[in-house]
Amino acid sequence: MYKCIRITSSSVRLLNSPVKKQAGYCFLNSFNYDKYNHKRNLNKVIFGATLSSFLIYKLYEKKYVYLREANANTSEYGAYKPNLPSYTMEEIAKHTTKETRIWVTFKQGVYDITDYVLKHPGGEQILLGAGHSVEPFWLLYGAHNKPQIYNMLEAMRIGNLSEEDAKEAIENMSDPYSNDPKRHPVLKPASVKPFNAELPLSLLIENFISPNDIFYVRNHLPVPEIDISTYELEVEVEDTDKKVVLTYEKLKDLPKHTITATIMCAGNRRSEMSKVKIVKGLDWGPAAIGNATFTGVLLRDVLKLIGVDEDSNYKHVQFEGLDMDPTSKYYGSSIPFWKAVDKRGDVLLAYEMNGAPIPRDHGFPIRVIVPGVVGARNVKWLGKITVSQNESDSHWQQNDYKGFSPSVDWDTVDFNKSPAIQELPVISAICKPEAHQKVQVKDGHITVQGYAWSGGGQKIVRVDLTIDGGNTWHVAKFDHQDSSEPPQHWAWTLWSAKIPVTTRIKNAEVWVKAVDSSYNTQPESFKNIWNLRGVLSNAYHRVPIELQW
């Protein structure tokens, strides 16, 4: 039997088991020290230090609380269906390849997903569930808990799980997110498990610096709980003995560096792209972005400790977080080597965010800040840095966070054909007024406010607005812009504009576009930049409003 245990050994980093041949499994159960006797010195994380026995979410008793949370009526899905054959877990476990057909279970349902595998937005991750239950993964990736996905699965139904196996599965289910931190209620979740949330738009631009408690959160996995007294960061050059292990204190002894940088999710404003044609990904509004002051040590200073500098001949620097998926894989990502060692790269191993220790949701105790680069490379809960000739082989580097041509769909996509997103293109958004709000005309003008930002250290040089479909454009005033110059301008620009309204119109659509210091500007429409993952959603922001006279 499987049950969750509390691990206190300082020699243990990993607390997850690999996927078990079982319908349900305890996320933190079946600990086997030998499996985790990694080469590296792993005495750092106490993942779930306070979990102990109460972490066992007896979903059998709780009647699938996690599904109810997703607001889906799930009672029918995965329920026993008469007139279908019954299979044991042992039988199901034999169906793991195209040849044998790929089967999975969900509650008491058995499904043949062979023909769906290639279309799975999460790529080959789906095969991790082959011959087993998909439930541990769906607990982890809450985005699956939607009626349309349940319906898709039910269409592949081939049988029922035997009564005995179904019962055992439910008994052993646990919630890997039970130890996530408490969040500020003003954050609007795009998903709860993992936690992903943005601020209401009107609050987003209240401050040039976004407060920690209400900084947008983009987590891919449960938040690990890390004890800084045992925390260690491994830094190494792949296939060499160049290596150093740094404690939290040792990191803090290195030269201190502070930058103000905007971090943005590649999927910011995805919900607008979805309106053209549905995309797969969290339904972000325009607030999956924030701007903070980060203090820490420069990655280039840390790399010098192992003899790596600007003249070294490497291609990538890989990062591993201490957040882990059910197969014991850490979140991983990489950046080009030049960015890591460049004098003007400003890549930071940050221990402070806005003057306070990095909050748990944002990577406590150490988060990589890669200014000008997509949020996904700003790895949280940093556990390991590897200098390499290769990109990270993680799912998030190889099979996600890439752009594609509008006509590429899930049947034709080849993730090898696009580069991993690094620097982000220029973007802007109107935050006040919000869509369909009433706006008072004062002295023949309406006031509009928002943000603009560009990746790669580019500065915003102009923000243009129109309320007549581009016949006349009005240049916004910058209310707050950092004084740093390209290529080290990392922070967003907050702007406002007084737009003249000459005729007594009742309705209008406000458009905004920004121009950055390389004079790149935003594309006009989502139609022509649509991509199946809904990333890089930087077309003009268009906000319909009602004018009041």
Is the alpha carbon torsion for 136, 126, 534, 489 positive or negative?
positive
96 binds a second copy (CB under 8 A): no
464 binds a second copy (CB under 8 A): yes
422 binds a second copy (CB under 8 A): yes
* CA dist., res. 255 & res. 340, Å (int): 16
Question: Which entry of 401, 431, 451, 540 is annotated as an active-site residue?
Answer: 401
Is 231 known to be catalytic? no
Is 218 known to be catalytic? yes
* CA dist., res. 174 & res. 246, Å (int): 33
Question: Which entry of 120, 157, 184, 480 is annotated as an active-site residue?
Answer: 120
Among 227, 301, 342, 479, binds a second copy (CB under 8 A): 342
Rounded to 5 degrees, what are φ and ψ at 325? -95, 175
Residue with Cβ nearer a second copy (159 or 457): 457
Q: Please, what is the minimum distance in Å from the beta carbon of residue 236 to a second copy?
A: 23
Is 436 known to be catalytic? no
430 binds a second copy (CB under 8 A): no
Region from 10-18, 165-173, 188-196, 485-493 binding a second copy, contact rule CB under 8 A: 485-493
493 binds a second copy (CB under 8 A): no
211 binds a second copy (CB under 8 A): no
Q: Please, what is the minimum distance in Å from the beta carbon of residue 311 to a second copy?
A: 9
Rounded to a whole number, what is the distance in angstroms from the first to the last CA of the chain? Answer: 70
Burial class (CB in 10 A: 0-12, 13-18, 19+), 373: buried
Question: Which entry of 257, 265, 360, 540 is annotated as an active-site residue?
Answer: 265
DSSP string, 119-184: G-TTGGGGGGGTTSBSHHHHHHSGGG-SHHHHHHHHTTEEEEE-HHHHHHHHHT---TTTTPPP--
410 binds a second copy (CB under 8 A): no
505 binds a second copy (CB under 8 A): no
Is 401 known to be catalytic? yes
Residue with Cβ nearer a second copy (327 or 518): 518
Angle, vertex CA 195, rays to CA 355 and CA 494, nearest 5: 50
DSSP state letter for 358? P
Is 144 known to be catalytic? yes
Strand partners, 510: 543
CA 86 to chain centre: 38
Region from 71-79, 382-390, 420-428, 494-502 binding a second copy, contact rule CB under 8 A: 420-428
Q: Is the peptide bond before 136 cis (omega within 30 degrees of 0)?
A: no
Question: Which entry of 13, 95, 132, 218 is annotated as an active-site residue?
Answer: 218
Residue of 279, 539, 268 lying closest to 408 (CA atoms): 279
* Contacts with a second copy, residue ranges (CB under 8 A): 310, 336, 338, 342-344, 403, 405-408, 418-419, 421-426, 455-456, 461-462, 464, 470, 472-475, 485-487, 513, 515, 517-525, 527-529, 536
Kindly list the catalytic residues: 120, 144, 218, 265, 401
